[in-house]
Amino acid sequence: MMASGMAGLASLLAVACIYWSWRQRRQAVIAIVGWLLALASAVLWSRVFGPEFGVMYATITFVCLTWLAVLFGTLSASSGAAATEPRNGESRVALRPYQALARPKAADIVKHGGLFLMSVPATGLLSLMLSVALVLYLPWTLLNKIAVAIFLWPVLWGALSAWIAAQDKLARPLTVVAALFVLGGLALFI
């Protein structure tokens, strides 16, 4: 009971340090202390509940506390507590007034529809192909190859999807996805 309380306190202090350094800007030492406390909390959680559940509890606690910190910061800013003058050359962005929703243009529908199709189903299939193709030639047992492919698949999917969604134009991601499909197909079927 005492150790889990210490782990929870370490998580709370980690989030407080990281959030405070983010809000104050240029407080790298406090941010490093916060990340070290986050790692220490993962070790403490692991000592209490074992490595599998400890890492899970550390991650979930850290994320939930971070959400609460951001929510608290947002609520205090919206209530006027943080409505002070900008600091040290910072500029405030004026909020846009409420605007009625407008029907998107056909070009926007095509662009965002294409980004969606490339970043979700196409990239899911591509990452599945690449994860299997990457482990195919490793000198491991079949069980280890399958395990690595299973863990690699969502990582590749997320990374490729995020990269595609960050692009302004469809040409570059389309070219890269097509080239990776060809390379993955060649590695799998030749």
Q: With 80 as the cut, is the pLDDT of residue 155 above it?
A: yes
Query: Which tens digit of pLDDT belongs to each residue from 74-88?
Result: 787 766 544 455 566
103: left (phi over 0), alpha (psi -120 to 50) or beta: beta
Would the CA dihedral through 152, 154, 159, 163 be positive or negative?
positive
CB 48 within 8 A of CB 9: no
Select the more confidently predicted residue: 16 or 89: 16
Select the more confidently predicted residue: 96 or 181: 181
Query: Which tens digit of pLDDT belongs to each residue from 102-152?
Result: 888 999 898 888 889 999 999 999 999 999 999 988 899 999 999 999 999
Q: What is the pLDDT of residue 9?
A: 92
Q: What is the spatial distance between Cα 38 and Cα 6, in angstroms, rounded to a whole number? A: 12
What's the token pair of residue 33? 């202390």
Select the more confidently predicted residue: 39 or 23: 39
Query: Which tens digit of pLDDT belongs to each residue from 38-90?
Result: 999 999 999 999 888 888 889 899 889 988 988 888 787 766 544 455 566 66
Would the CA dihedral through 78, 84, 87, 90 be positive or negative?
positive
Neighbour tally for 124: CB within 10 Å = 16
Q: What is the pLDDT of residue 89?
A: 60
Q: What is the pLDDT of residue 93?
A: 60
